[in-house]
Structures are given as structure tokens and as C-alpha cells.
Structure 1
Amino acid sequence: MTTMTADPKAKATDDEKKPGSKKKLIIVVVALLAVAGGVYNFVLRDKGPVEPQAGEVLVIEPIQLNLQGGHYLRVGLALQLTTTAEKPTDGSKALDATISLLSGRSVEELGVAKERDKLKTELEKELEEAYEGTVMGVYFTEFVTQ
């Protein structure tokens, strides 16, 4: 009978020489990279800009503005706020922008729906900037000329 002495170094070098152990290592590394990529994709990656969510609607009392030729405009506003808007929101910036934009215009100009829509879009842009993105829409609740 021959007795063999177990040399741990000899066994380790035999395992390292086997081609299957390198394949297992590569498979483990690839699997870890795939898991890390999945975690990054679903958890850490920036999803891009988030669309604002509609919150409360702030109704502003109607005001009267002077127009050309001694006419006037009675206009009421409602602001569609985002969910990030602080409560209560002050409507003074909206009134100021409305007065600046619509005062002194002619009745004929304001009587054309296409022109009103253009002015409303301009007002929305001004208010989005003035309220730092917390206003996402403007509605005319009253629009009467005389």
C-alpha cells in the first residue's frame, strides 16, 4: 500500500489548470455585471425630466382693463398649479402680467379667437417663469369687451 500525502498546494494548482474553472469565473463575473447593470438601469439612472402633475386651480377675481378707443376689457383668470406649488399662491404676479399684456389693445384685436389664443400662450409662458414652474396653465374664466 502506498500512502499519499495530501498537499494542499498541489491540489490548488491542479484546479487552476482545469479549463472549466476559468469558464466558471467568467460566468460569475458576467452575471455580477448584468446584475449591477440592472440595478443601475432601474434604480440609479436619471429618468429624465418629470412632467409636472396638475394640482389645485387658483381662481383670480375678474379685473377691468382699459383698451384703445375708450373701451374696456373685463377679464377673469384661473391658474392651473402644479402639485409642487406652495399654498396659498399669490395671484398678484398673474394680474400684473395680464395688465401689462392686454392693456391698450384694440377691441378688434381681442375679438379674434386666434389672437386671444396667441396672447393666452404668451401669458402662460410669462406666468410659468414668474411663478418658477409652479403654474402649468392659464384659463380665461371671463373675457368681456365693451
Structure 2
Amino acid sequence: MSKNSKTETDEAAPKGKKKLFLVVGVVVLALAGAAYFFLFAGGEAEAAAPEHGGYVALEPVAVNLAGGGYLKVGITLDITVAAAAGGGHGGGATVDGAKAYDAIISTFSQANPADVIGARDALKEALEQKIIAAYTDHDVPMVMGIYYTEYVTQ
């Protein structure tokens, strides 16, 4: 009997080591995933979501279109708390509209009349990206979005 019991324990030992190795591997992967989540994912989410600080309405501007005709467009800037606190352009409590006007003119003056009618949302997205980039100082965004207040073509 002693030979049989020794043979059974020798065969059981490698199975136990395999289970232990598998459990340790799963625990290490779980810890690595948790560390990534807490160290990297949380920081990006906080940096990606600026806090709303108010609105700045700009006067409508008429832009000559590339294919003839014109577009009268007005926008309102959705500014961040940093901009409302005076941490931005000109040292005032709000952002200056000069960069936004420049972005409006450069975006829409290259568009054809069919584009401003058919691709309105795509042009707005392009304009919004330009304005946010123009009003970002040292990785601190001053504008977090735009809204059309007027959009008339002729």
C-alpha cells in the first residue's frame, strides 16, 4: 500500500502546483488592471471634462462663401470656469471674441453654398474644434463648446 499511496501523492502534487500557478496569475492580472484603472483612467477623465463657467454671445457676422452668396452666422461660446475667473485672454472676466471671429471666417469662407446647407453639422464640428484649440492656453481650455444663435444663407 505504501507504493500506491506514494504514487498518488506524486501525481497530485503537479496538479496542485498548476492550480496555485493559475490562481497567482489571475490575482496578478487583476491587481495590474486595478492599478491601471486607478492610476491612469481617473486622471484622463478629470482632465477631459472642464467645468462650465458661463456663456459669451458674439455678434453675428456675414461671411462671403467660396461659390457665391453669403452666410450670416452668430455663435455663443460655452466658456469654462477658468475663463470666467479671468484666467484667460486679455485678463478680463470673459474671453475676447477675436479668435472666434477669425475661426468663423476661415471655416465658412472656404465653403460652398451647398456645403453650408447640407454639411451644417460637419462645419459646426470643424468650427468648434478650431475655436476650442484657439482658446486653449497651456493645456487649459477656456471654451468647451459653441452654439449657433443665427444661421442664415443667401
TM-score range, shorter chain: 0.5 to 0.7
* Structure having the higher Rg: 1
Q: How far does residue 116 in structure 1 lie from its aligned partner after superposition?
A: 1.2
The structural deviation recorded for 1:66 is: 0.6
Equivalent AA in structure 2 for residue 127 of structure 1:
I
User: Does 2:57 align with 1:59?
Assistant: yes
Runs of 4+ in 1 over 6 A off after TM superposition: none
Q: Of 100, 121, 125, which aligns to 1:117?
A: 121
Q: Percent identity?
A: 42
Contact 2:55-2:76 within 8 A present in 1 as well: yes
Which of the residues 102, 111, 116 maps onto 1:96?
102
Which of 132, 150, 154 matches 1:128? 132
Residue aligning to 1:72 = 70
Q: 1:104 to 1:123 in 2, by over 3 A?
A: closer
5+ residue gaps, structure 1? 1-44
Structure 2: runs of 5 or more not aligned: 1-38, 87-92
Question: Can you list the C-alpha shifts for 1:100-140, whole angstroms capped at 9, x where unaligned?
Answer: 0001422211111xx11111111111111110111110111
Q: What's the CA shift string for 1:76-97, capped at 9, x where partnerless?
A: 0100001111212100000001
Give the drift of 1:70: 3.5
Amino acid aligned to 1:140: Y
Structural RMSD (CA) = 1.9
Is contact 2:103–2:131 with CA below 8 Å preserved after alignment? yes
Question: Secondary structure at 1:64's aligned position in 2?
Answer: strand
C-alpha separation in 2, matches of 1:69 and 1:125: 24
Out of 103-112 and 54-63, give the one that drifted further: 103-112
Aligned length: 101
Looking at secondary structure, tell me which structure has more helix per residue.
2
* Aligned residue identity for 1:62: P
Aligned letter for 1:57? Y
**Contact 2:56–2:95 (8 Å) recurs in 1:** yes
Aligned mates of 2:126, 2:109 — CA distance in 1? 14
> Which residue in 1 is equivalent to 2:20?
none
